[in-house]
Amino acid sequence: MLFNSGAFLQFFAAFLLLYWLARDSLRCRNRLIVAASYFFYGWWNWKFLGLLFFSSSFDFAVGIGLERLSVPSHRKLLLASSVTMNLLILGFFKYYGFFVESLAALLPAIGLPFQTATLHIILPVGLSFYTFQSMSYAIDVYRGDIRATRHFVSFLAFVSFFPHMVAGPIQRASNLLVQFERTLIITRSMLVEGVWLMIWGMFKKVVLADSFAPLVEMVYHDAPPGAAAVVWGTVAFGLQIYCDFSGYSDIARGTARVLGFDIMWNFNLPYAAASLREFWRRWHISLSTWLRDYLYVSLGGNRRGSARTAVNVFVTMLLGGLWHGASWNFLLWGAWHGMALVIERAFAGDSKSGASTSRIAGCARWILTMLVVFYGWLLFRAGSWHQVVAMTHALGDPVAPDWLGDFVLYLSVFAAPLLAMEFWQYRTKNLLAPLTLRGWNLAALQGVLLVAIAIFWTRGKSPFIYFQF
């Protein structure tokens, strides 16, 4: 079920009515959330509800077992069972075909015969998100960061909570699970924030992201007609994926706030970053912090010298790229960011200018960061290694197509409201800057956005990009 669909609006309206009636009973509220979340997920494909239930139940049992066991080796073995089970589920559904196809291409090339049966495996929507969330719970219990819950329904609600389960943010039990174990008070400020985020997130998806999509397709579908087309097409994709994914995250947080829950921010003006490390502190925050806390730290972090730190950074980003999908271009994207982060760490702080040149230096760092980020988007969006090579080669071709002027004008028109909003948020250091407007001014702004959403709503509904991950 898509957020940007009439079916979701009807579902959410019906759910709100029932939720309001059950809000004072913790047990009824959580059972309603689980039932609604499983209905929401099963709307796409009910056959995978069993997988969701099994994954949740397994880690619920692991959490209790970790608290009952006292022998370190036994606790490690039980944690390993959780990690192994989640990675096996993820590996089979998401990476089986990729690895088999890669072996089928590689082994015959070096003279080794290879044959295998072909399996047509459907990737369950949201699998990467809810397995990471469930697995992190077991790791946190093992580390002693949280206590294992004995409330099975609360845990099911934590994993399957419909606002975030399909495309994040990836939640931590220390923040969200505890909210299912206490009575929540819904305040006026929560409702105001939630409604605003739902409207703004829907505007970013329906009006902006889906308008950037055909521009991206113009450039990436056919052979690139020169450097200018590649550059502007990649800029369009950078805006598309940002509006698409941050729009989903805003709707998710807004929906949760209306229900009285507080889930984490997943984006914080990432294109304002003046370094790659800052970019990853602002982009897909729930994944970048997950990789830092559960992968990078487990590899040793920065505790074993500069050379080992560089390896840990590179491996973390490489696997972060693979998390996005079973494709070599995602691995290449992860390797690109990993290599760039290693180089940035090596040269960080080498040149410190005085106050008179600090603004110039900051601008230069921002431009360099964006060049790395947006070339990374080229790697991310390209459909094959051949296309990566062709589009990279086209960056040296000065030819510009006749339609480029109209392309840039169209792009600028739709980018303008996003840039204006983000400039406002950046200057005020407040992601909720519009809520500082007085009543009628805020109502007028929301009214304009709703009219725009209604106008563009009739287009074909496109899934959110991160549904495929």
DSSP letters of 102-155? HHHHHHHHTT---------PPPPTTHHHHHHHHHHHHHHHHHTSSPPP--HHHH
List, by residue number, the catalytic residues.
324
CA 92 to chain CA centroid, nearest Å: 21
Cβ within 8 Å of residue 176, ≥6 positions away:
158, 161, 261, 263
User: What residue has token string 């990649």?
Assistant: 234
In this prediction the pTM is: 0.90
pLDDT per residue rounded down to tens, the chain (469 residues): 788 888 889 999 999 999 988 878 889 999 999 999 999 998 888 888 999 999 999 999 999 999 999 999 999 999 999 999 999 988 887 766 656 566 555 556 666 665 565 556 666 777 888 899 999 999 999 999 999 999 999 999 999 999 998 877 999 999 999 999 998 889 999 999 999 999 999 999 999 999 999 999 999 987 667 899 999 999 999 999 999 999 999 999 999 999 999 999 999 999 999 999 999 999 999 999 999 999 999 999 888 888 899 999 999 999 999 888 778 889 999 999 999 999 999 887 544 444 445 888 889 999 999 999 999 999 999 988 888 999 999 998 888 888 999 999 999 999 999 999 999 999 999 999 999 998 899 999 999 999 999 999 877 667 777 766 6
* Cβ neighbours of residue 160 closer than 8 Å, sequence gap 6 or more: 34, 37, 38, 41, 52, 56, 130
191: left (phi over 0), alpha (psi -120 to 50) or beta: alpha
∠4-383-107 over CA atoms, to 5°?
130
Nearest-Å Rg of the Cα atoms of the chain is 23
Q: Give the SS3 label for residue 5.
A: coil
